[in-house]
Structure 1
């Protein structure tokens, strides 16, 4: 039997993974190529995965666990984007932050 012990760092990493697509939306524009957004999300989830392992590892840092955390983080980010943020309109709202709009009636 496999014993799985997820520390608070792993749970926090999963929670961060859900919010990373919104962060990507905040720092990119609507005209940014989808591939650029995907690579940005991949990089952010890599940082998340390796930092989660660093926080949870204690004395024995395991690169394989960090890579698995990275892949899980990326999967969670993609699923959160297409399953939660895009259908609810949050993804579009994040892309609109910081854009100038003409005043009404102008």
Structure 2
């Protein structure tokens, strides 16, 4: 019996991006932006990331673009993004700090 442990580099890139997507959403939204708008933006960015990663995989390997895989991969990427937001970025105050970038005291 042989055991192999391998990681697809593009999958790793996708999940690293998913981990930092909540911070990027915080940069482009404001404190007054609704949480549902932020969630939809995060879901959309997760989908775009998955589609782009699958495109990169298809182009680099010369294989057919697998839309089903790209769409399916968006779901765990979104889950990783939400988990990283509530598990790390929000409790450490990173989310609030990122959303205040470029805001002066007079604009509060």
TM-score, normalised relative to structure 2: 0.85
- Which residue is 2:38 aligned to? 37
Mapped to 2, the partners of 1:47 and 1:4 lie a distance apart of: 28
How many residues in Structure 1 have an aligned counterpart in Structure 2? 100
Q: CA RMSD in A?
A: 1.6
- Which residue is 2:53 aligned to? 52
Kindly state the Cα deviation for residue 6 of structure 1 after the two structures are TM-superposed.
3.9
TM-score, normalised relative to structure 1: 0.87
Unaligned runs of 5+ in 2: none
- Which residue is 1:15 aligned to? 16
Unaligned runs of 5+ in 1: none
Mapped to 2, the partners of 1:72 and 1:53 lie a distance apart of: 14
Structure 1 segments of 4+ aligned residues over 2 angstroms from their partners: 3-6
Among 81, 86, 93, the residue aligned to 2:85: 81
1:44-77 residue CA offsets vs partner (Å, 9 max, x unmatched): 1111111111112332211111012111111110
